[in-house]
Amino acid sequence: MDDILNYLKDTLLSQLLQRCQQERILRIWMVGQTTAEEPYLLALLLADLLGADVASWNIKLFATYSQEEAVAEARRFTFSEQRLSQLPPKYQQQFFERVDAGNIAQPYTFALAKPVRHLVIFGFHSLLYHPPLSHLHLLVGLHALDSFPPAVQQAVLGRFATSLTGGGLLLLGSDASVQPHPHVYELVEPAWNLYRCRAVHPIAASNLRRQSLKLLNGTAAHISPDHLLSSEEQEASEGMASPLQFDGLGIVLLDGNSRIMFLDMAAARLLGVPKEVIGQDFGQTVSGLPEALVHLALQRVLEQHVPLRLTLMAHEQRPPLTLQFAKLDASAAEPPLVAVFITDARQLSLGFPTAEASEPPGGATGSSYEQLEPLQETLVNEQLESRMAFFQETLEEAERVREMLQVANEELQATNEELEITGSETAMDNLELRTVSQELRGRLHEQMQARQQLEQLNRLKDDFIGIASHEIKTPLTGILGNVQLALRHVSRLTPTEVEAAREQQKIQQALQRTEQHIHRLNRLLNDMLDAFRIEANSFQFRFDCCDLTSLLRDIVEEQRQLTSGQPLVLSLPEHTVRVVVDADRIGQVVNNYLSNALKYSPDDQPIEVRLQEEDQAVRLLVRDQGPGLSLPEQKRVWERFYRVPGIGVQNGSEVGLGLGLAICHYIIVEHGGMVGVESVPGQGATFWFTLPITT
């Protein structure tokens, strides 16, 4: 694109401005755009070339897109700082203004100044369904036609020819694959595929071979006596307006032997014949039309140079038709052609003399049927002259009306362009307001979320400090009391053996309680350190092959020795179960499950520990007979610092920091397993976890 812009700046735009210097009107159409950068850069080049005179020019730079969303995006387009740095410093200082983007990564962008930005008019346009713009001096169609088949490309190029003024330019780019018809477009610059539209009648834009003829109303045209359009080209150009047709009027061109040389879509539809009839006999092709009558009409029109009208009766699904024959004037070297204008007989005809399309009466031969009575021929000629004069006046009046409509259409188009510019400005202003409002709402929402997070963190911090202070202070107080009690007993020692034994027992009990408090304090500190390591992503594992049955048997036996006779029921598979785990961490999880079960279960109720094998995994379950958990509590017990409210401890010390189950969850997940709890309030709880089996 940069090479094209350099060519436009150095050569082409200067030539266009010089050509349009007198009227100071320049109209450019950029077709099939993807972004707004190219149209804006072209406007920038025009503003640079014209300088202060740009305000005195009427410049319209149309940029059209095939998607409506792309139009809205183009109107919001701005240049990034990186893209702006690639432009000349003079452009950066003179034609751009900074716009706040409201983005941390890209705090601001750059937009063209309004006088330059308003040179560009963005719009939605379909090359297949919408009429082209008019009175263009330059049409830029870089890759706009590459996705179309060749027949459609030529049809669209024909539409472009009706858009360009005499000598208007078509720029397709250096790597364009489209080749316009040489009779419609003259190649000016091969390196850039720049073409000049030839000053021909618009009917030549349909890529017909050139042969100068003159129609009935004297308008110059270019029509081929051979196969004018292939079937593909006719299909591609279907729906395109032609100077020789309008809704309800079809055209057929015949040579002197009644051979069809051209047939448009409207004629094929009215006659009920396929489009692939070029070269066939007209009388034999159309049902219900006598061949002799067609040859008679052609002979009269070619020899006497007068138009003739035939009425064709309705046939099957076809309505009654009016066929109006008129000779096209040609030079002596060119074969004569007859134009047949076909209309629905129920509509207004062109007013030519009439000969009814019926079979000869009484089975008369063609030669006898061709003889018209002299009186009838005289009346027909007089009626013909009168109606031809009326027809000529009607054509002239229609031409004047057409010119008036064209002027009114140009004024309306100019008004629409001004309204579009005003609407574009309003849309941009509204967009800027909406963008600022959305940005403010977004920042306010972020601040509210940040504030809520800070408040939550403060609450967690306060809860943690309170819990940690209480939980750490409790064992320390016990340790201090037991130590003091042991000291008092030591000071009371006497030589009596009985008293010495009694004091020794009390000291031993105090020291045992001290040991329990120290173990509890150690667990609390370990939980805090583990929670810190998890948060800091420094929690480490030492994986090795482990006999899970032996590990569980040792842990349960150790817990039995620490408890005061509360029954522990262990159920293990008969064979050895091996897993690859960190044995110390898995033991930490099992001990946590067991300590919780012992803490919340009555002394006389058993605690069940069961290991069972499943598909590619083993599941460990610890079931207690405690108060149970509700469904919301089952979901929250795995959160850090969460402690179930309203549940009293049956055995042992008070509840901990609320970190144990959160650490268990992390350990099992890192081993590739899952954790869970099943419980009904008042009926105990079953905590479980799974581990993958080593194969």
Cα(first)–Cα(last) distance of the chain, in Å? 62
| Enclosing H/E stretch for 516 | helix 497-535
160 token code pair: 């472009």
pLDDT at position 226: 31
Q: Judge residue 37's burial from the number of C-beta atoms within 10 Å of its C-beta, 0-12 exposed, 13-18 middle, 19 or more buried.
A: middle
pLDDT of 399-452, one tens digit each?
A: 666 767 777 777 787 777 777 777 766 776 777 787 778 778 888 888 888 888
pLDDT at position 498: 62
383 token code pair: 């009626």
CB 46 within 8 A of CB 115: no
CA dihedral 327→329→332→336, nearest 10 degrees, is -30
pLDDT at position 666: 92
pLDDT at position 215: 32
Which CATH topology does 541-692 take? Heat Shock Protein 90 (3.30.565)
pLDDT of 53-82, one tens digit each?
A: 888 999 988 888 888 888 888 888 888 888
Which amino acid type is present at position 624?
Answer: D
Q: Is the pLDDT of residue 22 over 80?
A: yes
The number of helices, as runs of H, and strands, as runs of E, in the chain is 19, 24
Split at pLDDT 50, 70, 90, the class of 138 is very high
pTM over 0.75: no
370 token code pair: 């061709």
Report the distance separating Cα 75 and Cα 426, nearest Å: 11
CATH superfamily of 245-371: PAS domain (3.30.450.20)
pLDDT at position 182: 76
146 token code pair: 């590459």
pLDDT at position 152: 75
> Mapping DSSP to helix (H, G, I), strand (E, B) and coil, where does residue 489 land?
helix
Split at pLDDT 50, 70, 90, the class of 362 is very low
| Enclosing H/E stretch for 456 | helix 374-491
Residues of the chain within CATH 3.30.565.10 domain(s) are 541-692
> Mapping DSSP to helix (H, G, I), strand (E, B) and coil, where does residue 202 land?
helix
| Enclosing H/E stretch for 356 | strand 354-357
Report the mean per-residue pLDDT for the chain: 75
CATH class of the domain comprising 2-204: alpha beta
Report the distance separating Cα 238 and Cα 226, nearest Å: 20
Scan for tokens 């100044």, then name that residue.
113
Report the distance separating Cα 388 and Cα 434, nearest Å: 65
79 token code pair: 């240049």
Report the distance separating Cα 96 and Cα 113, nearest Å: 5
> Mapping DSSP to helix (H, G, I), strand (E, B) and coil, where does residue 494 land?
coil
Residues of the chain within CATH 3.40.50.150 domain(s) are 2-204
Residues of the chain within CATH 3.30.450.20 domain(s) are 245-371
| Enclosing H/E stretch for 58 | strand 58-65
292 token code pair: 């002799």
Higher pLDDT pick, 597 / 422:
597
Report the distance separating Cα 101 and Cα 438, nearest Å: 12
CB 424 within 8 A of CB 122: yes
Lowest-confidence pick of 138-142, 244-248, 311-315: 244-248
Q: Which of 378-387, 431-440, 574-583 has the highest mean pLDDT?
A: 574-583
Closest CA to 330 of 213, 217, 204: 213
CB 421 within 8 A of CB 118: yes
pLDDT at position 246: 32
CB 324 within 8 A of CB 387: no
pLDDT of 161-212, one tens digit each?
A: 777 866 789 998 877 777 787 777 888 888 888 998 875 433 333 333 333 2
Q: Judge residue 506's burial from the number of C-beta atoms within 10 Å of its C-beta, 0-12 exposed, 13-18 middle, 19 or more buried.
A: middle
> Mapping DSSP to helix (H, G, I), strand (E, B) and coil, where does residue 119 land?
coil
